[in-house]
Structure 1
Amino acid sequence: MTDIVQPLSGTGIGLRQPHYREVFERRPELAFLEVHSENFFLDGGASMHALERARAAYPISLHGVGLSLASADALAGEHLAKLKRLVDRVEPALVSEHLCWGGVGGVHFNDLLPFPYTGEALALLADRIDRVQATLRRRILVENLSAYVECRHSAMTETAFLAELARRTGCGLLLDVNNLYVNAINFGFDPAARLGELAGDSIGQMHLAGHAVVDDCLIDTHGSLVCDPVWSLYEEACRRFGPKPTLIEWDTDLPALDVLLSQAAQADAIARREVAHA
């Protein structure tokens, strides 16, 4: 495995089509831009032109949603081949994928679904991540999931599972702080304690996002401001692990660009404060 570009530091935002023109014209101070890999699998067209323009101005993080690493189906070779072409073309700073499944029996559910944290699942995922990293010839990051059911057969916590997966494969972790908080509220555990199950050197990126509060749970929506408890958990993560490349993730009810930039500035301020206190 090889690293194509220098490691990132600082905060980025997701590049979304309504903000293309403003980002290219204003060139705001950002550490990187992140895009969903699958949106750029075509070899040409307007989307690829926009990504190439973005790549000329900023480091790029590719974030995948469709590889379905934990599916009982075979690893999707065609999907992986498309991802490799994109990686070779863009030479991103980071490549990440959700640790989940999203289809079985050839049927795609258009969702990011949980799975039991067992030794069997660990062996399956370790093999698949090894194959993905060998194909891409680089380390990838895998992201913890927001979930609304727990599997009764799980033999370990999600964070312990992630830590062991990183140890076995050399992959990195994308710590989604909002997802950890959502699960903590939904399932009744201490999110700060779960941070203690992770090794700081395995964490290659963090995500921050908003969620919705409904009657009996929290829903990860990526459609609102980061809330105060998630900011506090992010502070704790920075305190434990040091600053990591951090993304302000916002995918629905997209606000004005300045809202995202303000959230990015807040994340930068927290990271700088933790460095000063270290």
Structure 2
Amino acid sequence: MALSAISSLVLVGAGKMGGAMLAGWLDRGLPAAAVTLVDPALGPEMADLVARHGLAHATTVEGLAAPAVLVLAVKPQMMAGVLAAVAPVVGPETVVVSVAAGTTLATLGGALGDGPIVRVMPNTPAQVGQGMSVGVGNAAVGPEQRAVVDALMRAVGATAWIDDEGLMDAVTAVSGSGPAYVFLLAEVLAAAGRAAGLPADLAALLARQTVSGAGALLAASELDPATLRRNVTSPAGTTAAALAVLMADDALQPLMTAAVAAAAKRGRELAG
């Protein structure tokens, strides 16, 4: 569906993720007149976005009419208080979308009722329209509501859906937290370049461009990552020597498996 068909949307939370989603929605045709942004303290970038588009801004939801879509983009630690505050403005037809890690559909439904609710796990590349968002809905979410949420999240990247909410902690661990792992790769690659004798600024440039360029190639190619890796690797060459270290039995794969498991465990802890 087209975002222009959304009659009213309330976004609670204008941090990095909320702001990135809102900018993408406006760019993809969500009418500015349909949006109300709720945040007690806008940062400079969001204040500028509000001014440029003439968006309605409120510090609380008090007095707002029930919207067609309510998006909760707040930190998990804030969610309990936010749910109590927004419950009075959730109508029976309001589609509630939560992007908070660890807050379950049961928790959301317990506070907001049995209307349509969708949990979505996006990630920070949404800031440049290259996000990955995975959604799961409660029993009240039908094709129409799912289409609304899918259109919103496709405005900032790719989307996927799961039927088993139990997979959401693993989704969070892989794609929600995953950009941090990639940024860490750029950090340690630059540090390794410095250790090999490169000037710091050159090592940083090489690491940044290599990681971003490889990501762009992966996105543009129909080949799987293993094939792309093999295509770079000449037998007995320099890349093969490095990969022998990275692909050792006690190296990158078990480390990444442990990291994802730790993130998933923390997601379950946040859910209580």
Higher RCO (CA < 8 A, seq sep 6+) = 1
Q: Same fold (TM over 0.5)?
A: no
Larger C-alpha radius of gyration, 1 or 2? 2
Structure 1 or 2: larger helix share?
2
After TM superposition, the score normalised by the length of structure 1 is 0.28
Q: Which structure has the highest strand share of the two?
A: 1
Normalising by structure 2, we get a TM-score of: 0.29
